[in-house]
Amino acid sequence: MKILLYDVDSKLPNIALMKLSTYHKSIGDIIHIIKGNGKPILIDYTNYDKGYASIIFTKNKNLVDNFPFEIGGTGIDLNKELPFYVEHLMPDYSLYPDNEYSIGFTTRGCVRDCSFCFVPKKEGLIKFNANIEEFYNPNLKKIMLLDNNIFSYKDYGKIFEQIRKINKPTSFKQGMDFRLLTEDKVDQLRSIRYDGNYIFAYDSIKLKKVIEKQMEKFENRFPNWSMRFFVLVGYDTTLKEDIFRAKYLVDHKCNPYIMRYENCYASPYKDFYTDFAAYYNQPFAFKKLSFEEFMHKRYKNEKRIDFCVNMWYDNI
């Protein structure tokens, strides 16, 4: 049979589609993958006997309105899972020839119950998922782990032991829970060849006390600018609280990464959120320029500049 794999909008290589490819190739099927990059495309479905579409973002549901085969992914169905015999197959990395990472989950789930996050609904509480060797390809340069809260897993040390044994640059791409850091956990992080920034989150002003307490304990254990914090904005915080969190992180030589909740795109402050994110998500900008200087370099439109600069000064 000829199988269509439709990667609707993945930012990373799509693990589910790679595992489905492995399965279908093992029974002699021919695989064809189409990568949509979140944009509408025309597909002649008559060329295929069977197909799978994977959607990551709910905003892209309409891109599969006419898809005649099976549809899954967090963007459309939180309860749909791969069959067990597919879930634990080696991903077919040949679908993404430019990828340099072995990618997978050693754990699934999370102990938190953040209202903005789908993980608790989809995966439940933290639990073991797989050893790294299940998805490790020695021909790839690095390892990317997508665990949602590795430090809430009681046997996290065993995962780090596996990483040390393989000894390749490794990252926890979804981030780690700064609230759960201990001296041992920092030691574990520093014991591996960590790839890129150490990623954490400062999602709400409600975390102010615990973030500041943990920062006082551990900021000297990490090189300057080696920590990056996701900063959720537009969900349950004010502009003043959003700016405060970003400025606090910069003051402690950490990189903020502004994550705009969907409400931002319909907000009367939409333009400010856009430029606020552009400013703080580019280290060369916030390290060298004031927000006002950045706006003057970014635009010639004085109305846009005045609006955003006034919002900034009204909320710092």
Amino acid code (one letter) for 141: K
Q: How far, rounded to the nearest angstrom, does the alpha carbon of residue 195 sit from its chain's CA centroid?
A: 15
CA distance 150 to 156: 6
CA distance 291 to 197: 24
Query: What pLDDT was estimated at residue 173?
Result: 95
Pairing state between β 127-128 and 107-108: antiparallel
Burial of 75 (0-12, 13-18, 19+ CB in 10 A): buried
The H-or-E segment that residue 72 falls in is strand 70-72
- Cβ neighbours of residue 220 closer than 8 Å, sequence gap 6 or more: none
Query: What pLDDT was estimated at residue 10?
Result: 95
- Cβ neighbours of residue 7 closer than 8 Å, sequence gap 6 or more: 14, 17, 33, 34, 35, 36, 54
Closest CA to 90 of 3, 178, 23, 166: 23
pTM: 0.92
Q: How far, rounded to the nearest angstrom, does the alpha carbon of residue 43 sit from its chain's CA centroid?
A: 28
CA distance 289 to 296: 10
Query: What pLDDT was estimated at residue 113?
Result: 84
Query: What pLDDT was estimated at residue 114?
Result: 86
Q: What is the pLDDT along the chain (316 residues), one digit of tens a residue?
A: 999 999 999 999 999 999 999 999 999 999 999 999 999 999 999 999 999 999 999 889 999 999 999 999 998 888 889 999 999 999 999 999 999 999 999 999 999 988 888 887 888 899 999 999 999 999 999 999 999 999 999 999 999 999 999 999 999 999 999 999 999 999 999 999 999 999 999 999 999 999 999 999 999 999 999 999 999 999 999 999 999 999 999 999 999 999 999 899 989 999 999 999 999 999 999 999 999 999 999 999 999 999 999 999 999 9
The answer to whether the CB of 89 falls within 8 A of the CB of 42 is no
Pairing state between β 50-54 and 107-108: unpaired
Query: What pLDDT was estimated at residue 235?
Result: 93
Structure tokens at 156: 């996290």
Residues paired with 50 in a beta bridge: 3
The H-or-E segment that residue 229 falls in is strand 227-233
Pairing state between β 198-201 and 227-233: parallel
Domain ranges of the chain: 1-99
User: 291-298 and 302-315 helices cross at what angle (nearest 10)?
Assistant: 170
Structure-token match 């197959």, residue found: 89
Residues paired with 6 in a beta bridge: 34, 53
The answer to whether the CB of 54 falls within 8 A of the CB of 16 is yes
Query: What pLDDT was estimated at residue 122?
Result: 86
Query: What pLDDT was estimated at residue 94?
Result: 98
The answer to whether the CB of 192 falls within 8 A of the CB of 164 is yes
